[in-house]
């Protein structure tokens, strides 16, 4: 199904993603009209949740706690995580074990983990396939950094029921690393510059305007978007969904070689025959003035969302959103906010432009969004108006808009497929 919008586009890195009146298939409306921006009553979450438990938690039958602890210790050792870096709390009465990074409770920052010498974080070298066969080696975020970010104060990752299995954690870490590995080096075409009519285009061998051909398995179609990037011109919102979903599908198809779970993911994507619709929970966009409250309960097909997350607490593979809180420039097409995928190592993605190694630091991204209020719409032409953020500015802006910042306190990430009950997804006809 094709949907035509006169939409305002999100930004990826310093390169602007601007496209008005274009057609981007299989997406929800991206027109943003904020009528009460100063009040910020529409922003998801209100403040950082007060959590008594933070880090990685397993809730298990009492007789499994010992084996989970042993398996977790072994996994951390494999990642060269010093035992002194992790605090364990076992509650046999409640059947739980909690692992938390040995940092002060008020330390919720994960962006600078790779810069802390005592953590000894390096990059992992992995292999990615190339079009036509063969592989290429790339350096990407390490599994160690991902696990340490999960362990850090500021949020809780909870495995329970069938998820009381160390493999649930390993899968989550593996998927996150795969999302990052593919996303850190993308350069898709931008519709306004790549096509005469400004419309998105897709490799017709695998796709029909944003929908995989019936004869093509979704994991094959999604993988082609990263193998033959020059055959695609897509908008930023679709790019975010493609990057996240491909990382999940490719993990089960190529890395884990798990056809059973792959089939579950693909079936879920195709429930409404539009695999790029409702990839993420609809409530991710509840801050939009035109958001329909009836859509709040519609879950994501492959992604879930948490709110109330601490500032600067990003786990590699998280999808986040930065909001332009200036009520005037927010109305300018292309400058409402910015979708971003966290790549670890203090880096966020850039889907289109060959600058900065296809990614930008957290400060650079925050500074870009902030400076739109100063009419900085071109970083060379408007350089005289750029306000360079101080550390104090960055601390403030990393908070939610209600607290004077510009980063929403939501984080969107993959389900624990095979290790948790998935939210029931109904097609539009079933919802009526």
The answer to whether the Cα torsion of 397, 400, 401, 404 is positive or negative is negative
Tell me if 229 is assigned to some domain: no
- Which structure tokens are listed for 177? 């690393």
| Range list of β-strands (E), 287-371 | 303-306, 319-323, 337-341, 347-349, 359-361
d(CA 20, CA 44): 26
Euclidean distance between CA atoms 268 and 281, whole angstroms: 13
Q: 53, 155 in Cβ contact below 8 A?
A: no
Cα radius of gyration rounded to whole Å, the chain: 21
Q: Which domain holds residue 136?
A: 55-182
- In the prediction, which pLDDT does 315 show? 98
CA atoms within 13 A on the CB side of 206: 18
pTM value is 0.89
Domain count for the chain, please give it. 1
Q: Around Cβ 31, how many Cβ atoms within 10 Å? A: 13
What does the pLDDT look like over 226-266, one tens digit per residue?
A: 999 999 998 888 999 999 999 999 999 999 999 999 999 99
Kindly state the helix (H) or strand (E) to which residue 64 belongs, with its residue range: helix 62-78
Write down the pLDDT at residue 380: 79
Q: Distance (Å, rounded) from C-alpha 288 to C-alpha 279?
A: 18
Q: How far apart are the C-alpha atoms of 411 and 421, rounded to whole Å?
A: 19
pLDDT given at position 6? 28
Is residue 106 a part of any domain in this protein? yes
Q: How far apart are CA 262 and CA 256, in angstroms?
A: 10
Instruction: Reduce the DSSP state of residue 321 to 3 states and report it.
Output: strand
Residue whose structure tokens are 């094959």 = 220
| Helices 236-250 & 218-227 angle (0-180, nearest 10) | 120
Token pair 């306000």 is at which residue? 387
Residues 94, 325 contacting (CB under 8 angstroms): no
234 in Cβ contact with 21 (< 8 Å): no
Identify each DSSP E strand in 4-148 by its residue range. Answer: 55-59, 86-91, 96-101, 124-129, 135-140
Question: 315-351 burial by CB neighbour count: b if 16+ within 10 A, else e?
Answer: bbbbbbbbbbbbeebbeeebbbbbbbbbbbbbbbbbb
- Note the pLDDT of residue 40: 44
Given its phi and psi angles, is residue 45 left (phi above 0), alpha (psi -120 to 50 degrees) or beta? left
d(CA 417, CA 262): 9
Max CA-CA distance within the chain? 66
Quick check: is 84 in a domain?
yes
Hey, what are 25's tokens? 């298939």
Phi–psi pair at 292, nearest 5 degrees? -85, 115
Q: What are phi and psi of 163, to 5 degrees?
A: -80, 0
Q: How far, CA to CA in Å, does 255 sit from each of 251, 297, 335?
A: 5, 33, 38
42 part of a folded domain: no
DSSP calls for 390-414: PHHHHHHHTS-GGGT-SB-S-EEEE
Which portions of the chain are predicted below pLDDT 70? 1-50, 192-198, 351-358, 427-432
Q: What is the pLDDT of residues 59-78, one digit of tens each?
A: 999 889 999 999 999 999 99
- Residues 50 and 314: their CA atoms lie apart, in Å, by 17
Q: Would residue 96 count as lying in a domain?
A: yes
Within a domain: residue 240?
no
Q: How far apart are CA 194 and CA 191, in angstroms?
A: 5
- List, for residues 359-397, the tens digit of each pLDDT value: 889 999 999 999 999 998 877 789 899 999 999 999 999
Instruction: Give the SS3 label for residue 25.
Output: coil
Tell me what percent of the chain is helix, strand and coil, each rounded to the nearest 5. 35, 15, 50
Residue 295 tokens, joined: 């859509």
Q: What is the structure's pLDDT at 314? A: 98
Map tokens 């027109």 to a residue. Answer: 31
* Residue 164 falls in which region: left (phi positive, over 0), alpha (psi -120 to 50) or beta: beta
Using CA atoms of 354, 356, 362, 366 in order, give the dihedral in degrees to the nearest 10.
-70
pLDDT at residue 24, rounded to an integer:
42
Which residues contact residue 26 at a Cβ distance below 8 angstroms, ignoring those fewer than 6 apart? 1, 3, 210, 211, 238, 274, 275, 276, 277
């Amino acid at each position: 199904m094709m949907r035509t919008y006169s939409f305002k586009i999100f930004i990826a890195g310093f390169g602007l993603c601007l496209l008005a009146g274009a057609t981007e298939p299989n997406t929800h409306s991206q027109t943003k009209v904020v009528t009460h921006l100063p009040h910020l009553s529409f922003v998801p979450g209100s403040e950082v949740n007060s959590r008594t438990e933070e880090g990685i938690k397993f809730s298990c039958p009492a007789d499994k706690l010992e084996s989970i602890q042993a398996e977790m210790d072994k996994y951390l050792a494999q990642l060269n995580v010093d035992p002194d870096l992790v605090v364990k709390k076992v509650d046999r009465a409640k059947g739980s074990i909690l692992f938390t990074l040995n940092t002060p409770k008020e330390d919720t920052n994960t962006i600078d983990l790779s810069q802390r010498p005592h953590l000894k974080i390096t990059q992992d070298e992995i292999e990615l396939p190339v079009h036509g066969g063969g592989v290429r080696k790339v350096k990407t975020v390490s599994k160690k950094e991902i696990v340490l970010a999960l362990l850090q104060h500021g949020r809780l990752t909870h495995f329970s029921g069938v998820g009381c299995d160390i493999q649930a954690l390993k899968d989550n870490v593996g998927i996150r690393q795969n999302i990052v590995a593919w996303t850190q080096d993308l350069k898709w075409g931008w519709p306004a510059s790549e096509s005469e009519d400004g419309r998105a285009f897709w490799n017709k061998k695998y796709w029909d305007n944003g929908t995989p051909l019936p004869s093509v398995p979704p994991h094959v179609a999604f993988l082609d978007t990263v193998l033959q990037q020059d055959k695609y011109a897509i908008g930023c919102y679709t790019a975010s969904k493609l990057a996240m979903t491909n990382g999940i599908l490719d993990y089960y198809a190529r890395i884990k070689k798990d056809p059973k779970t792959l089939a579950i993911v693909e079936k879920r994507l195709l429930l409404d025959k539009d695999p790029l619709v409702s990839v993420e929970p609809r409530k991710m966009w509840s801050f939009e003035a035109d958001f329909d409250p009836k859509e709040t309960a519609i879950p994501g097909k492959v992604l879930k969302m948490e709110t109330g997350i601490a500032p600067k607490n990003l786990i590699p593979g998280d999808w986040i959103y930065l909001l332009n809180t200036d009520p005037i420039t927010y109305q300018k097409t292309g400058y409402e906010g910015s979708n971003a995928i966290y790549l670890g190592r203090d880096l966020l993605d850039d889907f289109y432009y060959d600058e900065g190694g296809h990614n930008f630091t957290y400060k650079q991204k925050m500074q870009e969004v902030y400076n739109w209020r100063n009419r900085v719409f071109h970083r060379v032409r408007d350089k005289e108006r750029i306000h360079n953020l101080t550390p104090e500015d960055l601390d403030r802006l990393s908070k939610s808009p209600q607290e004077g910042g510009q980063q929403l306190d939501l984080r969107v990430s993959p389900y624990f497929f095979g290790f948790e009950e998935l939210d029931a997804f109904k097609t539009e006809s079933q919802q009526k």
